[in-house]
Amino acid sequence: MVKRLLTTIFFLALLTLNLNAQNFEATINKTNFAANEDIILTLTLLDINTKNKPNIEVLNKAGFRIRSQSYNSKTSYVNGEISKKFSWVYYLSTNLEGQVTIPEITLQTKNSDLKTSALKLTIAKNSVTKNHKQDKISISNQIETKNPFIKQTVILKTKIVRFVNSYNEEFIEPKSNDAIIELISEPKSYRSTLNNQEAIITEYIFALTPIKTGEIKITSAKYKGVLAKNHAQDSFGNINNLFGFSNMQKYEDFFIASNDIILNVKDRISASKNWLPLNSLKLKTELSNKTQNIYVGDPIELSITLEAHNAKEGQIP
């Protein structure tokens, strides 16, 4: 009798866990992603009321960053039954590569704690993959020299060219473990005509200072966001026009990356500790009141101007 009772309790516990799993689910928009491509995670709760939110701290701990999120609730009445659906949608980004796991996510309700299943996905290593969207938007890097001296500051420019409007853009700066890269001015945007088309050009200017000799790698700059696309341009355009939907908009995500840059950094020429690799260095002095007679005890002002080309302020003595 006791054994049978324990078996029944165990069966009911398993049944409860299974029902909870079905009531609270996690899904993603796909299982294979490009590097730095957004992952859309949707959490769905069915027919259970709660004022709490899912515990998404586990996402941060697992290496995911939440770029944006939204919440939606829906009540439906079908065949005499009321059904409720609650949805949380998260746009995630991550620097992880290879086989990646989105961990289990818990949600506290009045009667129990619900838990989703962990999700497996694959993120490709960082590479530049050309697609049709790059005909509309492109990104490129240009560096002053690929053979700088160690601690020589050179200018790196990243240029984004857009022939279409985009939304929710995010620019990811180029990076390197062997160089200091700093944005030295606000991004500059302007309009221009390229190939008989109007383009919006945005330029980012960086100061790059290598801190290691030999071959070093500057990883690509990246740009992602959303493009607005008119339905009338697709294969169903005629049908949309027929029903008066020619101005309806649909959206598509885009992700592009510039070329990586390989630098061959040269060692210092002089063994002196006071090494400052510059394109040019000028030192100028000037006295105030130099055209007037100066008497003993008169104060005078001596101005010293040091002009260094391709140097940061902190490098100047």
pLDDT confidence bin for 84, thresholds 50/70/90: confident
Pairing of strands 113-115, 280-287: unpaired
pLDDT at residue 301 in the model: 79
Smallest Cα–Cα separation from 90: which of 18, 42, 161?
42
Using a cut of 0.75, tell me whether the model's pTM lies above it: no
Q: What is the DSSP string of 35-98?
A: TT--EEEEEEEES---S----THHHHHTTEEEEEEEEEEEEEEETTEEEEEEEEEEEEEE---E
The torsion angle over the Cα atoms of residues 220, 226, 232 and 237, rounded to 10 degrees, is 80
pLDDT band, very low/low/confident/very high, at 308 (cuts 50, 70, 90): low
DSSP-derived 3-state class of residue 155: strand
Residues 132-265, CATH architecture: Sandwich (2.60)
Token pair of 113 as six digits = 């704690």
Domain spans of the chain? 2-123, 132-265, 280-315
Report pLDDT digits (tens) over 152-173.
899 999 999 999 888 888 899 9
DSSP assigned state of 13: H
Span 48-83, pLDDT tens digits: 878 888 999 999 899 898 878 888 888 877 676 777
Q: Do domains 2-123 and 132-265 have the same CATH topology?
A: yes
* CATH class of residue range 2-123: mainly beta
